[in-house]
Amino acid sequence: MHELSLAENINNTIKSLCERSSWTRVHRIVLKVGHMRQIDPEILSFAFGVVAKGTVSEGAEVSVLELPIVFMCHSCGKETSSEKTVFACANCGGTNVDLRSGMELTIESLEVESRQVL
């Protein structure tokens, strides 16, 4: 279950952002996750809830936007989207491809509370 270590890293990143930005609470986290990361969104959300206890992110809603595997074929120039990790062009069968999407793991957005500055 690599989701737990990912949740810890995400929470550490958010804690650091909060310290630098005077944010006092995180209410919502939107993550972009590529299909090749093979992350179960429910397990990641659960794991995040566990590691966030006692931090500014405790109780935050976690949403995961799953991104497909997309690659560009050098033989025919077509871009192909796939649910599988088979890197063969659906158009020409070529295997000389570049991965364009599918390995992402980013914090897309945060909904936060901030200290009131007087």
Residue 95 near residue 88 (C-beta atoms within 8 A): yes
Where do the structural domains in the chain lie, given as residue ranges?
A: 3-67+101-113
pLDDT at 117: 61
**Interaxial angle between packed helices 3-21 and 41-51, expressed in degrees from 0 to 180 and rounded to the nearest 10:** 50
User: pTM higher than 0.95 for the full model?
Assistant: no
Q: Per-residue pLDDT for the chain (118 aa), expressed as one digit of tens each?
A: 689 999 999 999 999 999 999 899 999 999 999 999 999 999 999 999 999 999 999 999 999 999 999 999 999 999 988 877 778 888 898 999 999 999 999 999 999 999 766 5
pLDDT at 10: 97
Longest dimension (CA), the chain: 63
Backbone φ and ψ for 46, nearest 5 degrees, come out as -65, -45
pLDDT at 1: 61
pLDDT at 115: 79
Distance separating alpha carbons of residues 115 and 22, to the nearest angstrom: 6
pLDDT at 65: 95
> What's the fold here for domain 3-67+101-113?
hypothetical protein PF0899 fold (3.30.2320)
